[in-house]
């Protein structure tokens, strides 16, 4: 496969998102604008200007009308995807590290940093998926993380739970209506922060990536760790592929150590693991720095990775990827056909 | 991916307004699809033999008719240009012959062979609608199609998932390591005096020839010995020149002709009755089961890119080749029965 390189950012990438149809990619980086790209040919649709600090996060609503971005200038902004106009600004006390729309795009959550005496919080807003509508200033809910700040969070199936990953390697489950903490489990090492949470297509389970060099597949209902993927490098991002039972993990040496290591040792590769067998099945190299974010096309046709090197690399899977199956899988399929 | 190769001017026309006449689009309707048909002309380079994707060219306006500057000439000039001809070839390509005058007023005939491939793409109407959006922000002034300053194509990456990826990776590493180990134990040996130093630093390098060669034999046997006997009995007489094929006891020539190829042929299979649609990779996959395959050659038509029906497969080990020959002879592949035999030595 021949990757498309997107050079719209001058600084390290922070997050990449595909829209639901998989035709547009949104990217944010530590420079102060977000970019939208066509996934099929890498053409840049446009850029979103207005933030005054590094952008940490982006998410797109399921109808591809609005995107939300969170930044180090303590704001969350909503943008019209088509025109690049800023629709709404919410101000916070601290930087916003993660935003995510729920399944139907009626709610948005934002994870704020713990800093300057403010505790880390998860804030929920009601969203009107209409470009003309006035968005509310009011927060529908605020969850305060007293023990350990949340680094990432997301909505479970049917917007029933809010799942958050914390700095101390724990994963907690909140009731999405009341904000009450229902469960909390030490999924990763206590000193390793959780760097990413991404959902399965039906949002019943999710994958977490952590600095403790593992990624885990966790059930949203009871926070049971179903699978563990062990690597040899700190992970920054993990993603579940639709269509095929794989997961893609991205990571690499921490940015501060990069100058002392070569590309080979830095392990700047996207790693593919089999979702069920937990075995590594291949790697895709190409970045010159650690992978900060990995995103999979919801249609399962490709994936994009963003690195500390400021590049987004968009890959379209080729035939070998779709044809690959384990011997066991082939046997099962043959049996099913016979019946 | 090919859309990158055929940039701007075409891209507009290649995305016809597909979302038209659809009425209100149901946002959650995922089943609805549109079919778009586009035609891409493809130039067939005449010297092209490999299987890599053929470069795509956009049809320039000049392909269909002469330049406007030449139009006047056409009317006035006595030596009017012959009309353009388009012929369809057997293999589905088209030959287009155009004539024009160049800057010096000379007639130029351009022959192009073009293959038209129709690319059908099924696109969700919402996606099609989004493709027609105008750009904004930093890209606001960009022309349609990917801009070269923000989008480029990386080098090709071969990504083949494999169940025992870890093991493969480990196998590769020890090999490299063992090579290193081998070299570690190797001591420096002088070719002239067998001492533990580089030949270039040998104190005898100006006075002695390397061990085992003509000169050294001279030194060892004393100057009185007959030098002609060493040079294959042919160097007798005054002339010291020995033709290359007679050097080293006269066996050199034979070795040179046979040496490498002989070894190669020993483990090379000739596969015939191969399907036109076969690919080298498929053959490699089939034969790799029997042992390490060092080379796969599939003869292809240079213009159509179709296989000619025979292939050569070289194995590392002759035993593997023999096994493969036995098992694969008569194997059904793409509706044809393969015939596998050992390749005959090239004459």
What's the pLDDT at B346? Answer: 60
Given a cut of 70, whether residue B239 has pLDDT beyond it is no
- Highest average pLDDT, of A172-181, B76-85, B90-99, comes from A172-181
What's the pLDDT at B185? Answer: 63
Given a cut of 50, whether residue B16 has pLDDT beyond it is no
Q: What is the 3-state secondary structure (H, E, C) of chain A?
A: CCCEEECCCCCCEEEEEECCCCCEEEEEECCCEEEEEECCCCCEEEEEECCCCCEEEEEECCCCCEEEEEECCCEEEEEECCCCCEEEEEECCCCEEEEEECCCCCEEEEEECCECCECEEEEEEECCCCCCCCCCCCCCEEEEECCCCEEEEEECHHHCEEEEEECCCEEEEEECCCCCEEEEEECCCCCCCEEEEEECCCCCEEEEEECCCEEEEEECCCCCEEEEEECCCCEEEEEECCCCCEEEEEECCCHHHHHHCCHHHHCCCEEEEECCCCCEEEEECCCCCCEEEEEECCCCCEEEEEECCCCEEEEECCHHHHHCCCHHHHHHHHHHHHC
- Highest average pLDDT, of A46-50, B270-274, B283-287, comes from A46-50
CA nearest to B28 within chain A: A63
Last residue of some domain: B117, B139, B161? B139
B24 in reach of chain A (CB within 8 A): no
Tokens for B47?
A: 């010297």
Q: CA of A174, closest CA in chain B: separation in Å?
A: 28
Given a cut of 70, whether residue B73 has pLDDT beyond it is no
Tell whether B225 and B263 lie within a shared domain: no
Lowest-pLDDT choice from A113-127, B44-58, B252-266: B44-58
Closest Cβ–Cβ partner in B1, B4, B136 for A84: B136
What's the pLDDT at B293? Answer: 86
Residue B236's pLDDT band (cuts 50, 70, 90) = very low
What's the pLDDT at B103? Answer: 79
Given a cut of 70, whether residue B2 has pLDDT beyond it is no
Q: CA of B159, closest CA in chain A: separation in Å?
A: 7
What's the pLDDT at A296? Answer: 95
Tell whether B7 and B135 lie within a shared domain: yes
The reply to whether B41 falls in a domain is: yes
Contact A4 B124 (CB under 8 A): no
CB A28 within 8 A of CB A34: yes
Tell whether B296 and B193 lie within a shared domain: no
- Highest average pLDDT, of A207-221, B39-53, B239-253, comes from A207-221
Strand A225-230 with A214-219, pairing: antiparallel
What does the domain layout of chain A look like in residue ranges? 4-338
d(CA B262, CA A130): 76
Residue B11's pLDDT band (cuts 50, 70, 90) = very low
Tell whether B41 and B120 lie within a shared domain: yes
Given a cut of 80, whether residue A106 has pLDDT beyond it is yes
Average pLDDT in chain B: 67
Q: What CATH number does domain A4-338 carry, 3.90.800.10, 3.20.20.80, 2.130.10.10, 3.40.50.1820? A: 2.130.10.10
- Phi, psi angles (nearest 5°) of residue B190: -80, 135
**Residues in chain A within 8 Å Cβ distance of B159:** 1, 282, 284, 315, 317-318, 320-321
What's the pLDDT at A77? Answer: 94
Given a cut of 70, whether residue B164 has pLDDT beyond it is yes
What's the pLDDT at A66? Answer: 93
Lowest-pLDDT choice from A187-196, B92-101, B141-150, B184-193: B184-193
ipTM for the predicted complex comes to 0.74
B337 in reach of chain A (CB within 8 A): no
- Residue pLDDT, tens place only, A308-318: 889 999 999 98
Task: Give the number of other CB atoms < 10 A from CB of residue A201.
Answer: 12
Tell whether B67 and B29 lie within a shared domain: yes
Contact A324 B136 (CB under 8 A): no
B54 in reach of chain A (CB within 8 A): no
Domains: count for chain B: 3
In chain B, which among 124-183 make CB contacts under 8 A with chain A? Answer: 124, 126-127, 130-131, 133, 135-140, 142, 145-147, 149-157, 159-163, 165-166
Closest Cβ–Cβ partner in B145, B157, B163 for A3: B157
- Residue pLDDT, tens place only, B166-222: 776 666 555 555 555 666 666 777 777 777 778 777 777 777 766 655 444 444 444
Three-state DSSP class for residue B11: helix
User: Closest by alpha carbon to A152, among A77, A64, A59?
Assistant: A59
What's the pLDDT at A287? Answer: 87
Residue A56's pLDDT band (cuts 50, 70, 90) = very high
d(CA A131, CA A78): 10
Angle formed by the axes of helices B318-328 and B280-288, nearest 10° = 110
Interface test with A, best of B32, B38, B139 (most A CBs within 10 A): B139
Average pLDDT in chain A: 90
Residue B86's pLDDT band (cuts 50, 70, 90) = confident
Lowest-pLDDT choice from A251-260, B86-95, B323-332: A251-260
Tell whether B215 and B280 lie within a shared domain: no
Closest Cβ–Cβ partner in B150, B156, B161 for A281: B161
The reply to whether B86 falls in a domain is: yes
What's the pLDDT at B3? Answer: 41
The reply to whether B121 falls in a domain is: yes
Given a cut of 70, whether residue B76 has pLDDT beyond it is no
pLDDT mean over A268-275 = 91
Residue A156's pLDDT band (cuts 50, 70, 90) = very high
Contact A282 B160 (CB under 8 A): yes
What's the pLDDT at B39? Answer: 42
The reply to whether B251 falls in a domain is: no
Interface test with B, best of A9, A10, A44, A82 (most B CBs within 10 A): A44
Tell whether B97 and B56 lie within a shared domain: yes
Given a cut of 50, whether residue B253 has pLDDT beyond it is no
What's the pLDDT at A223? Answer: 92
Q: In what order do the strands lie in the sheet with A280-284?
A: A235-240, A246-251, A270-274, A280-284
- Highest average pLDDT, of A180-194, B57-71, B210-224, B275-289, comes from A180-194
Tell whether B115 and B40 lie within a shared domain: yes
Tell whether B220 and B279 lie within a shared domain: no
Tell whether B226 and B338 lie within a shared domain: no
CA nearest to B137 within chain A: A47
The reply to whether B197 falls in a domain is: yes
Of A60 and B49, which is predicted with more confidence? Answer: A60
Given a cut of 80, whether residue A197 has pLDDT beyond it is yes
Residue B99's pLDDT band (cuts 50, 70, 90) = confident
What's the pLDDT at B25? Answer: 37
What's the pLDDT at A165? Answer: 94
Helix and strand numbers (H, E) in chain B are 11, 11
CB A7 within 8 A of CB B151: yes
Closest Cβ–Cβ partner in A4, A44, A274 for B153: A4
What's the pLDDT at B218? Answer: 43
Domain that holds residue B280: 259-342
Tell whether B287 and B216 lie within a shared domain: no
The reply to whether B164 falls in a domain is: no
């Amino acid at each position: 496969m021949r990757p498309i390189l997107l050079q719209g950012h001058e600084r390290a990438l922070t997050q990449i998102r595909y829209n639901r149809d998989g035709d547009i990619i949104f990217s944010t980086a530590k420079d102060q604008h977000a970019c939208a790209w066509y996934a099929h040919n890498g053409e840049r649709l446009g850029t979103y200007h207005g933030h005054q600090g590094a952008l940490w996060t982006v998410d797109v609503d399921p109808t591809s009308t609005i995107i939300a971005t969170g930044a180090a200038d303590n704001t969350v902004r909503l943008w019209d995807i088509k025109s690049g106009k800023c629709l709404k600004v919410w101000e916070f006390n601290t930087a916003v590290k993660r935003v995510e729309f729920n399944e139907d795009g009626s709610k948005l959550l934002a994870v704020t940093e713990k800093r300057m005496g403010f505790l880390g919080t998860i804030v929920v807003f009601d969203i009107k998926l209409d470009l003309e509508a006035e968005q509310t200033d009011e927060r529908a809910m605020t969850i305060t993380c007293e023990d350990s700040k949340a680094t990432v969070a997301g909505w479970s199936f049917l917007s029933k739970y809010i799942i958050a990953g914390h700095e101390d390697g724990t994963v907690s489950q909140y009731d999405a209506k009341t904000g009450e903490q229902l469960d909390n489990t030490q999924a990763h090492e206590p000193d390793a922060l959780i760097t990413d949470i991404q959902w399965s297509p039906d949002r019943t389970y999710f994958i977490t990536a952590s600095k403790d060099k593992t990624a885990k597949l966790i059930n949203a209902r009871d926070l049971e760790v179903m699978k563990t993927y062990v690597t040899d490098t700190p992970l920054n991002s993990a993603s579940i592929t639709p269509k095929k039972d794989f997961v893609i993990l991205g990571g690499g040496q921490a940015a501060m150590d990069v100058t002392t290591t070569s590309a080979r040792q830095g392990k700047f590769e996207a790693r593919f693991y089999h979702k069920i067998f937990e075995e590594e099945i291949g790697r895709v190299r190409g970045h010159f720095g650690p992978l900060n974010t990995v995103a999979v096309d919801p249609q399962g046709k490709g994936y994009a990775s963003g690195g500390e090197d400021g590049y987004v690399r968009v890959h379209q899977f080729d035939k070998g990827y779709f044809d690959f199956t384990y011997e066991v899988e082939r046997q099962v399929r043959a049996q099913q056909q016979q019946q | 991916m090919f859309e990158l190769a055929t940039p701007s001017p075409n891209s507009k026309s290649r995305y016809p307004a597909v979302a038209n006449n659809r009425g209100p689009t149901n946002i959650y309707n995922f089943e609805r699809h549109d079919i778009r048909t586009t035609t891409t002309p493809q130039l067939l380079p005449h010297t092209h033999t490999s299987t890599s994707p053929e470069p795509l060219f956009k049809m320039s306006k000049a392909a269909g008719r002469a330049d406007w500057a030449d139009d006047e000439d056409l009317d006035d000039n006595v030596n009017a240009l012959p009309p353009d001809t388009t012929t369809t070839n057997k293999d589905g390509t088209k030959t287009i012959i155009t004539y024009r005058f160049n800057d010096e007023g000379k007639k130029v005939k351009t022959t192009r062979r073009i293959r038209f491939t129709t690319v059908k793409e099924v696109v969700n109407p919402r996606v099609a609608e989004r493709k027609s959006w105008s750009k904004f922000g930093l890209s606001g002034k960009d022309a349609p199609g990917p801009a070269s300053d923000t989008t480029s194509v990386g080098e090709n990456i071969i990504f083949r998932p494999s169940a025992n990826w870890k093991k493969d990776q480990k196998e590769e590493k020890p090999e490299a390591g063992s090579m290193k180990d081998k070299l570690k134990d190797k001591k420096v040996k002088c070719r002239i005096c067998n001492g533990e130093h580089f030949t270039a630093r040998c104190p005898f390098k100006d006075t002695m020839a390397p061990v085992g060669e003509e000169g050294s034999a001279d030194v060892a046997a004393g100057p009185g010995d007959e030098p002609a006997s060493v040079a294959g009995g042919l160097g007798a007489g005054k002339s010291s020149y020995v033709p290359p094929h007679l050097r080293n006891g006269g066996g050199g020539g034979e070795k040179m002709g046979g040496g490498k190829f002989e070894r190669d042929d020993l483990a090379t299979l000739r596969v015939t009755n191969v399907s036109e649609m076969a690919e080298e990779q498929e053959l490699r996959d089939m034969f790799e089961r029997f042992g390490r395959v060092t080379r796969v050659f599939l003869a292809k038509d240079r213009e159509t890119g179709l296989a000619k029906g025979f292939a050569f497969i070289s194995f590392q080990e002759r035993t593997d080749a023999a096994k493969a020959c036995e098992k694969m002879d008569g194997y059904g592949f793409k509706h044809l029965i393969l015939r596998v035999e050992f390749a005959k030595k090239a004459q």
